[in-house]
Amino acid sequence: MSANKDYVQIFDTTLRDGEQSPGCTMNVEEKVTIARQLEALGVDVIEAGFAAASPGDFESVRRVAEAVKAPVVLSLSRTREADIDRALKAVEKAANPGLHVFIATSDLHMEQKLGMSRQEVIDAAVWAVERARRHVDHVEFSAEDASRSDIDYMSQVFGEVIRAGACVCNVPDTTGYAAPAQTRELFARLREQTPGGKDVVWSAHCHNDLGLAVANSLAAVEGGARQVECTVNGIGERAGNTSLEEVVMALETRRDYFGVSTHIVTEQIYPSSQLLAKVIGVPIAPTKPIVGDNAFAHEAGIHQDGVLKNVLTYEIMRPERVGRVSNTLVLGKHSGRHAFAERLKTLGIDLQRVNVAEAFDRFKALADKKKEVYDEDLFAIVAEGGEAEVGTRYRLIDVRVSSSLGGKPVAQVTIGIDGKPVDAEFSGDGVIDACYSAIKKATGVNPRLERYQVAAITGGTDAIGNVTCVLRFGDQVVRGHGAHTDIIMASAYAYVDALNRHESRTAGGGDGGGREIGP
Ligand code: KIV
Ligand code: ZN
């Protein structure tokens, strides 16, 4: 990595900071699927997780490290020996391994959270960076809560970790508190006054609590940052992190102003955004810049008139540039494998990273039920592939429901449990309620339903319904996902998917949940 003047590295933390947000957890297979897409997107660094946080996180980092070749793959780590060793172990097979060490530098965090003095924090940071550097070249150091830290003290900390071998200095706005002009000044000052500051890459890591994460990241670039940490669709704790697509397209579209470029293959932005949304089951707001449904839609007559005469009147970037192709009817049940694969390619989906034969089978099954198959359906079909490895203790065999205006809805379900069919019947307040109660009765598992969400992937009454449900099992929260042209089936699939995810998590393998992370 270099401190190159006109190039900004993109550090993607979708799989770590992004995945930490409730409802965005992913299992190992899903993380590998996303990591492969991030590689196609051209990110420079993938933060694959926090290896010491749980066995699931360790496994995810290890598998991502093996799966991708071009980007640096790193794990987050506190300044503790056990964390560093675990992180090093997780990335040992990576083509380009790295470590990301952090400790807080604000007086508030040091006193209240860590109970450490300023000197103790410096000693811990230096010790951790030195230890990491004995094993890997790429060591990033983060001063947590930097935007509320004393600048002179923080500069001293950065100077010491640079001497210990850190090559990237990250300045996080952990609480989303900073303002853009202040951020620009902070970066310029740190780069100028920190001993060795001109020889390392300065990095911005912003949270979006005040809706300023992208603005602060761009201001940091103006102040000399040459790495931006971000997540696809801006997912992340609380109000999220800097949105990758927004910050990249701001730098690309306003290159005349910022004077820097990135290595991002911008045509892969929309496919990446769609894939993540489908995998985690969290829809994108229609007005979200770059990737929202309305981001390139011109409704007002006066705008439409202008765009027809010359697109530049109201469009500052072409949708094709971010990989958006029109929402066209593409394929039907008579379409062949070749046409299917060609359409995936047009959508920017890398066929090397997809099991095309299995995806084609899913497409055929869908085309049988649905007259028209749209591009969005294809993204869903591909995303489904990443879920194949979830445990399969429970299998939905059948659901039958009856409902009438005057009567109480009743659901009968047949669930395969360890290969044996079990029937159950229940009546409820609605068909979904009855169906979920019947599944609980059949399986004897009794989680609490925390969230239930339905989204139609495309318009029309035969659209695929995409259901996400979030179940709570004691202190564990698990998400399930189901897609079907029948919304009741999609709901039942989502519930059974969540039960299986919980099973694989308690069996110690799958999801990155169940973490215990202290300061
Ligand atoms: O927001 C933050 O401070 C972080 C650090 C661990 C980099 O995520
Ligand atoms: Zn963060």
- pTM of the predicted model, to two decimals? 0.81
Q: Give the type of residue at 69.
A: K
Q: pLDDT tens digit string along 418-475?
A: 999 999 999 988 999 999 999 999 999 999 998 898 876 666 666 677 788 888 888 7
Q: Which domains does the chain have, with CATH numbers?
A: 9-264 (3.20.20.70), 301-386 (no CATH), 394-508 (3.30.160.270)
More confidently predicted of 330 and 449: 449
Rounded to whole angstroms, the Cα distance separating 166 from 189 reads: 19
Atom of ligand 1 nearest to the CA of 241: 1
Tell me how far CA of residue 330 lies from CA of 115, 220, 372, in angstroms: 60, 43, 8
pLDDT higher than threshold 70 for residue 518: no
Ligand 2 centroid to 212 CA: how many Å?
14
Ligand 1 centroid to 240 CA: how many Å?
12
Atom of ligand 1 nearest to the CA of 16: 8
Q: Which residues line ligand 1 (CB under 6 A)?
A: 17, 76, 102, 142, 144, 170, 172, 174, 205, 207
Ligand 2 centroid to 174 CA: how many Å?
5
Rounded to whole angstroms, the Cα distance separating 80 from 275 reads: 35
pLDDT higher than threshold 50 for residue 149: yes
The mean pLDDT of 320-334, rounded to a whole number, is 75
Mean pLDDT of the chain: 89
Q: What percent of the chain has pLDDT over 70?
A: 91
Ligand 2 centroid to 413 CA: how many Å?
43
Token representation of residue 55? 């066995």
What's the pLDDT band for 325 if we cut at 50, 70, 90? confident
| 146 alpha carbon, closest ligand | 1
Residue to substitute in 47, 80, 108, 205 for testing ligand 1 pocket (most ligand atoms within 8 angstroms of CB): 205
pLDDT higher than threshold 60 for residue 73: yes
DSSP codes joined into one string, 126-142: HHHHHHHHTT-SEEEEE
More confidently predicted of 44 and 361: 44
| Predicted pLDDT at 517 | 56
Residue to substitute in 99, 102, 169 for testing ligand 1 pocket (most ligand atoms within 8 angstroms of CB): 102
Alpha helices in 68-106 (DSSP H): 81-91
Q: Whose CA is nearest to atom 8 of ligand 1?
A: 17
| 171 alpha carbon, closest ligand | 1
Q: pLDDT tens digit string along 251-270?
A: 999 999 999 999 999 999 99
User: Coil, helix or strand for 203?
Assistant: strand
Ligand 1 centroid to 465 CA: how many Å?
36
User: Coil, helix or strand for 174?
Assistant: coil
Are 152 and 195 in contact, with CB atoms under 8 Å apart?
Answer: no
Are 301 and 348 in contact, with CB atoms under 8 Å apart?
Answer: no
User: Coil, helix or strand for 245?
Assistant: helix
Ligand 1 centroid to 439 CA: how many Å?
40
| Predicted pLDDT at 254 | 97
Token representation of residue 205? 């890591």
Ligand 1 centroid to 491 CA: how many Å?
36
Are 187 and 220 in contact, with CB atoms under 8 Å apart?
Answer: yes
| Predicted pLDDT at 477 | 78
| Predicted pLDDT at 512 | 38
Q: Which of 98-112, 212-226, 383-397 has the least mean pLDDT? A: 383-397
Atom of ligand 1 nearest to the CA of 146: 3
Q: Which of 83-97, 348-362, 433-447 has the least mean pLDDT? A: 348-362
What's the pLDDT band for 134 if we cut at 50, 70, 90? very high
What's the pLDDT band for 20 if we cut at 50, 70, 90? confident
